[in-house]
Amino acid sequence: MPSLSIIMPCHNRAHDLIKCLEAYDQQVGASDFEIIAVDDASSDSTYRVLTSYRPSGYTLRVERLETNQGPAAARNRGIELGASPLVLFVGDDILPANTLVWGHTVAHKIYRSKDIAVLGRIAWPEDMPVNTLMTHVGGIGAQQFSYYFLVDGQEYDFRHFYTSNISIKTEFLKSASTWFATDFRFAAYEDAELAYRLSQRGLVIRYASALLAYHYHYYNIWTFRERQRKAGMMACLLIGKHPRLMVQFRSHLTRMAALITHTQAVPAQVVLELEDMLCHLLSLYEWNPNELLDRAYLGALEYFYYDGVISGWFGKSALAQRLRGVHAKKYLIPALSWFFDEAKHRNIPTIDASRLEWLINMSGLSLTPTT
């Protein structure tokens, strides 16, 4: 029986999988571990890459789901197949440092309590370009991971159960009546939902910064805005399952209340144009940092997250359509106006702002002043 099972859901990652699989062959100090790779009905050659790879330092077990079901279902299949006392969850875009497997094994010898999970660190790789958005979300923005704020050796709550690099004792994991909830179709909050249920049984997450892995996933503002929308939608699903979590997500209530009580709304077509304008503007600085960017990214990514929240709570209803228009009027237009004004004052080049002024005038809007 292997000492550790690595569970890796895979979907359309054929271009990077070889590099990832080879990195596990280069582990130092680790022996007798397995990777259970579950292909979630990839449409590329992911399954062929997995089944043709012959590891020298570990056992590779490959499964394929015939229909795309999301990472939750793929992980559940991996849990079913694993028989080792430890489980390490990773992603198919995560490349381990050469002591990662050994480090997780040693950590659980130190933290022997059955309810302790060990969270490793995720960083951008040195051989992949890192743009200003990626620097922001991996840093002070913390929109995907909170490593910028974590302290080595400290304990953290269920929201930090990052299945890109976290290990847990199998017996404790399987003590849950169900594992990952498969109605989380996107990769957001399905790990936190399981961790919340495990926290009711005593789960503690201990952070070990030396357990390093690299995130080979390139983002720009266009792709990350969709990630934010999906995260907002899945956050609503999480709260729906566990209403007590509304305390942690009370900003949802505050934001939605501010929209429902507001009267002015931007027409739907104008909302789309404003969103594209924002992304075109921020893409101008993808490789050109300036002192306004962190605040601009914070506002933009928060906006797209709550756009997902509107979808999560209200679907495609007429109310959702109106709330999107109010949301754009209350948060998106002021954010754009602020950036154009500040950029002009600081001599930072921007796109032409005249289109924004025309849209505001055409829509007959009165703007809420920004602070």
Residue 221, phi then psi, degrees to nearest 5:
-65, -35
CATH number of 4-219: 3.90.550.10
Residue 234 pLDDT greater than 50, yes or no: yes
The average pLDDT across 221-236 equals 97
Average pLDDT of the chain to the nearest whole number: 94
Q: 228: which 2 tokens?
A: 């934010």
Residue 158, phi then psi, degrees to nearest 5:
-60, -25
Residue 99 pLDDT greater than 50, yes or no: yes
Higher pLDDT: 193 or 258? It is 193
CA distances from 147 to 43, 74, 90, 140, 267 (A): 33, 26, 16, 9, 39
Among the listed residues 256, 275, 278, 273, the one whose alpha carbon sits nearest the alpha carbon of residue 322: 256
Q: 98: which 2 tokens?
A: 């050469």
Helix (H) or strand (E) holding 103: helix 100-110
Model confidence pLDDT, tens digit, residues 49-63: 999 999 999 999 999
Residue 369 pLDDT greater than 70, yes or no: no
Model confidence pLDDT, tens digit, residues 268-298: 999 999 999 999 999 999 999 999 999 999 9
Task: Provide the pLDDT for residue 45.
Answer: 96
Model confidence pLDDT, tens digit, residues 295-346: 999 999 999 999 999 999 999 999 999 999 999 999 999 999 999 999 999 9
Among the listed residues 50, 77, 53, the one whose alpha carbon sits nearest the alpha carbon of residue 65: 77
Confidence of residue 370 (pLDDT cuts 50, 70, 90): very low
What does the CA dihedral 339, 342, 347, 348 come to, rounded to 10 degrees? -30
Residue 371 pLDDT greater than 50, yes or no: no
CA distances from 329 to 98, 175, 200, 333 (A): 50, 48, 41, 6
Percent of residues, the chain, with pLDDT higher than 70: 98
Quote the radius of gyration of the chain (alpha carbons, Å): 22
Task: Delimit the domains of the chain by residue range.
Answer: 4-219, 222-363
